[in-house]
Amino acid sequence: MGIAEWREQLRRGEVSARELTDLHLARIGAVEPAIHAYLEVTTERARADADRIDRARAAGESLPPLAGVPLAIKDNLCTKGIRTTCSSRMLENFVPPYESTVTDRLWRAGAVLLGKTNLDEFAMGSSTETSAFGPSRNPWNPERVPGGSSGGSAAAVAAGECVAALGSDTGGSIRQPAAFCGVVGLKPTYGRVSRYGLVAFASSLDQVGPFTGSVADAAELLQVISGADSRDATCLQAPVPDYRAALQQPVAGLKVGLIRECFEAPGLDPQVKASVLAAAEQLQSLGCELVELSCPRFNDGIATYYVIAPSEASANLARYDGVKYGYRSEASGSLAEMTARSRAEGFGDEVQRRILIGTYALSAGYVDAYYKKAQQVRSLIRRDFERAFASVDVLLTPTSPSTAFRFGAHSEDPLAMYLADLLTIPANMAGLPAISVPCGFDQQGLPIGVQLITGVLQEELLLQVAHQYEQAAQVMLRRPAAELVP
């Protein structure tokens, strides 16, 4: 059931918010041992949220747009009074004294908090394997990763453990796990959504967005979380259009660009390629014109990202010094030793690797060779997109070169893991909105995602094309539900 349908049933009194919440809590109880999507389930809070909605309805009050919708929140978004760990020992016991803007807007819109979801530590990874609290599993096949870094949120939606979830996307962390888990994942335009209360990874790239079972539900969540925020200076002032209204517009006559470099990408699984090309043909049958084009700098995104993102991360993570908050080593010694030990014990390997790379790239003598160069290539990637959007309305690529891989498949080789983001990173580099929509399955029954990208602040067009495709293709009539519960 979609959010719009749910809203109508709740309004008519056919079902209560408490029933919907309890249904999801029961589902969590049944499948969490196999999936581990959540780090914490906030049962009492969820029931209290739901009961409040039911009382408001009984009293005849008008209900807000997400009244009674049970949500899961990635555990790098601050929730007041509820632990926010970033899947790190460093923040294992951190209870934020404030609420992030996005979650605050969701609760004001009547949504119910079910719990906080697992992620790669500090959102650094593509599989949830770097979580200090153990990985999440893919509901389609528990021997496979759910993707990452927002793997817990993607798995929770796919396994029916919530109606929708929030994640964050710095280089693909919403779209890639959405593709791996067969759900919809949307990264908005940089600045469309406030970052206040999102624990910072790479501030020029980070953006919060929804995971949902349908494009229409993604529009519902984006509607609520978007818009200016005086507490985030990078948040755009642009008015928020009616995203739900945009869905129904026909797509005939639109030009869809297929980026040649993406379909020739190294390591692109032929089954993924075929499925994504079939999605393009589906759009063609709806009246879109397919245009092949070239973005020569697209495949440089990954090298650029792995200079810029660790550089920004090294600066952002300097705040974890064992003094102000977070983990503090018990070992005795000088202040400098205490800080060094706290960081060595509190951060996992991948986070330490990123801090080292970033500190190196920013150090005197190297900053021009690495960081500045990367920023220049970033401008070239942005220019590639500008040129592409001069001739097409929307770009179409695979979301990920492969379907969900096995646990440990890339653990010996961080570079192989980094390649999982090849096709998602360019949109972050240029600050563009992009969405992953399920488009098929491989021979092993693992979901495949198609990525659509539009120009800055063109979320309406993005959602419209994604929705029309989804309605025509009807890919997700299959759900992983049944196989899950032993």
Q: If binding is defined by CB under 6 A, does position 432 make contact with ligand GLN?
A: no
Burial of 4 (0-12, 13-18, 19+ CB in 10 A): middle
Is 149 a catalytic site residue? yes
Give the binding range for ligand GLN (CB under 6 A) out of 53-61, 163-171, 389-397, 467-475: 163-171
Instruction: State the nearest-atom distance from the C-beta of 187 to ligand GLN, in Å.
Output: 9
For tokens 């009539």, the residue is 477
Q: If binding is defined by CB under 6 A, does position 384 make contact with ligand GLN?
A: no
Q: Residue from 88, 149, 397, 399 that binds ligand GLN (CB under 6 A)?
A: 149
Q: If binding is defined by CB under 6 A, does position 125 make contact with ligand GLN?
A: yes
Instruction: State the nearest-atom distance from the C-beta of 269 to ligand GLN, in Å.
Output: 18
Give the binding range for ligand GLN (CB under 6 A) out of 54-62, 167-175, 216-224, 437-445: 167-175
Q: Which is nearer to ligand GLN, 10 or 199 (CB)?
A: 199
Among residues 16, 74, 100, 314, the one annotated as catalytic is: 74
Q: Three-class SS string for the chain?
A: CCHHHHHHHHHCCCCCHHHHHHHHHHHHHHHHHHHCCEEEECHHHHHHHHHHHHHHHHCCCCCCCCCCCEEEEECCECECCECCCCCCHHHCCCCCCCCCHHHHHHHHCCCEEEEEECCCHHHCCCCCCCCCCCCCCECCECCECCCCCCHHHHHHHHCCCCCEEEEECCCCCCHHHHHHHCCEEEECCCCCECCCCECCCCCCCCCEEEEECCHHHHHHHHHHHECCCCCCCCCCCCCCCCHHHHCCCCCCCCEEEEEHHHHCCCCCCHHHHHHHHHHHHHHHHCCCEEEEECCCCHHHHHHHHHHHHHHHHHHHHHHCCCCCCCCCCCCCCCHHHHHHHHHHHHCCHHHHHHHHHHHHHHCCCCCHHHHHHHHHHHHHHHHHHHHHHCCCCEEEEECCCCCCCECCCCCCCHHHHHHHHCCCHHHHHHCCCEEEEEEEECCCCCEEEEEEECCCCCHHHHHHHHHHHHHHHCHHHCCCHHHHCC
Sheet of strand 255-259: strand arrangement = 38-41, 112-117, 70-74, 164-168, 208-212, 184-187, 434-441, 447-453, 394-398, 255-259, 289-293
Q: Residue from 88, 170, 436, 454 that binds ligand GLN (CB under 6 A)?
A: 170
Instruction: State the nearest-atom distance from the C-beta of 309 to ligand GLN, in Å.
Output: 6
Q: Which is nearer to ligand GLN, 309 or 446 (CB)?
A: 309
Report how far Cα 109 is from the mean position of its chain's Cα atoms. 21
Q: Which is nearer to ligand GLN, 205 or 236 (CB)?
A: 205
Site for ligand GLN in 105-124 (CB under 6 A): 123-124
Q: If binding is defined by CB under 6 A, does position 173 make contact with ligand GLN?
A: yes
Instruction: State the nearest-atom distance from the C-beta of 364 to ligand GLN, in Å.
Output: 25
x/- mask, ligand GLN, residues 182-201, rule CB under 6 A, reads -------------------x
User: Rounded to whole angstroms, how far apart are CA atoms 52 and 59?
Assistant: 11
Q: Which is nearer to ligand GLN, 125 or 455 (CB)?
A: 125
Instruction: State the nearest-atom distance from the C-beta of 171 to ligand GLN, in Å.
Output: 3
Q: Residue from 172, 210, 326, 480 that binds ligand GLN (CB under 6 A)?
A: 172
Site size for ligand GLN (CB under 6 A): 13
Q: If binding is defined by CB under 6 A, does position 31 make contact with ligand GLN?
A: no
Q: Residue from 421, 459, 460, 470 that binds ligand GLN (CB under 6 A)?
A: 421
Q: If binding is defined by CB under 6 A, does position 171 make contact with ligand GLN?
A: yes
Q: Which is nearer to ligand GLN, 201 or 263 (CB)?
A: 201
Instruction: State the nearest-atom distance from the C-beta of 265 to ligand GLN, in Å.
Output: 16
Q: If binding is defined by CB under 6 A, does position 169 make contact with ligand GLN?
A: yes
User: Rounded to whole angstroms, how far apart are CA atoms 20 and 69?
Assistant: 8
Among residues 88, 100, 131, 149, the one annotated as catalytic is: 149
Give the binding range for ligand GLN (CB under 6 A) out of 170-178, 324-332, 369-377, 406-414: 170-178
Site for ligand GLN in 275-314 (CB under 6 A): 309
Site for ligand GLN in 195-234 (CB under 6 A): 201
Q: Which is nearer to ligand GLN, 54 or 421 (CB)?
A: 421
Is 126 a catalytic site residue? no
Is 173 a catalytic site residue? yes
Output the residue with the shortest Cβ distance to ligand GLN. Answer: 173
> Length of the chain in residues, anyone?
486
Q: Which is nearer to ligand GLN, 41 or 91 (CB)?
A: 91
* Residues contributing to the site for ligand GLN (CB under 6 A): 123-126, 149, 169-173, 201, 309, 421
* Residue positions annotated with a catalytic role: 74, 149, 173
